Amino acid sequence: MSVTLDWLGCATFCLTVDNLVIFLDAYMDRVPAAPPVGLTTAEVQRADYILVGHSHFDHLWGAERIARNTGATIIGSHETTRLMVNEEVPEEQLIFSAGGDRIQLSDRVSVRVYPSQHSCIWAGMGPPDQACLGDLGVSWQERQASLRTRAGSRASDRPGMAEVQAHRAACTQHPRGEGGALAYLIETPYGSIFWKDTSGHWSGILRDLRPDVALLAAAGRGNIDGEPIQGTLGQFMAREVDLLRPRRVVLSHHDNWMPPTTRGPEATAAAVGEELGRQFPHIELLEMGYSEGYPILQGIR
Ligand SMILES: [Zn+2]
């Protein structure tokens, strides 16, 4: 068996199953102040598939370059597909799904696609160990208004913000919101890996899945069935682990991917680790560094 997992920052991973190379998201080319992840999209030599969790730039941007350079097939939402067509990725390299599909990636590996939820970026949130309450029953219109207010209030004169704005201008692909978030269950002869690139879910979907490993985004205000978590990020992550019951958990999206708007992973890892350790002491929480080539399914069965 040869199954390795490289974390490439934010919620991007590269999973290699024998000879099959699967990217999970494609955002590696970050602002200069962000720590390098060990690989740029221009350096990707081989990719067979790119699974995209949702259409925001910090997940999708880069997929078009990897697809063009390697011939990889992109799997994503209808919105992701629309944006990739705009980027002149050939139609034959695009597979769209709204969830409910099982897609064969090789003779021995397939992926199941599920509808998911994005984190509540329109809602109030604090540090990862702080409980957030309220913001329930907010309409679509009120959520959009809140997003506009939050975008307008970002201080542009802080050191590093000019680079952030230039970066965002370069990688914007004009998505309609997040384009519909998806979750993926990759099934291999050696075990299964669940991946989701934002902190939200439909609990009725997660509760019936039993992956060996769960790669879970730990960022922002968690979204449970369309409403914000009433509690901490650690409690949200514990809910996801409780629904999925994996043997092993890997966190993502908690690194310093766009300073100065983001911070290092330490505070989130500590807060989530404490909650998971308290509730699920038998589940292994892996603290992964970038580009480690970790044997992610070793010892799982
Ligand atoms: Zn997003």
CB neighbours (10 Å) of residue 24?
27
The CA R_g of the chain, rounded to the nearest whole Å, is 18
| Dist. CA 104 → ligand 1 center (Å) | 26
User: Which residues have their alpha-adjacent CB atom under 5 A from ion ligand 1?
Assistant: 56, 178
| Dist. CA 59 → ligand 1 center (Å) | 7
What's at 260, amino acid-wise? P
| Dist. CA 12 → ligand 1 center (Å) | 12
Sign of CA dihedral 141, 143, 146, 147: negative
| Dist. CA 91 → ligand 1 center (Å) | 24
d(CA 51, CA 228): 26
| pLDDT tens across the length of the chain (301 residues) | 799 999 999 999 999 999 999 999 999 999 999 999 999 999 999 999 999 999 999 999 999 999 999 999 999 999 999 999 999 999 999 999 999 999 999 999 999 999 999 999 999 788 888 899 999 999 999 999 999 988 777 667 788 899 999 999 999 888 898 999 999 999 999 999 999 999 999 999 999 999 999 999 999 999 999 999 999 999 999 999 999 999 999 999 999 999 999 998 999 999 999 999 999 999 999 999 999 999 999 988 7
| Dist. CA 41 → ligand 1 center (Å) | 20
| Dist. CA 54 → ligand 1 center (Å) | 7
β-strands 227-228, 284-286 pairing: unpaired
| Dist. CA 17 → ligand 1 center (Å) | 27
Buried b (16+ CB within 10 A) or exposed e, 206-220: beebebbbbbbbbbb
Which residue, 178, 213, 171, is CA-closest to 199? 178
| Dist. CA 298 → ligand 1 center (Å) | 31
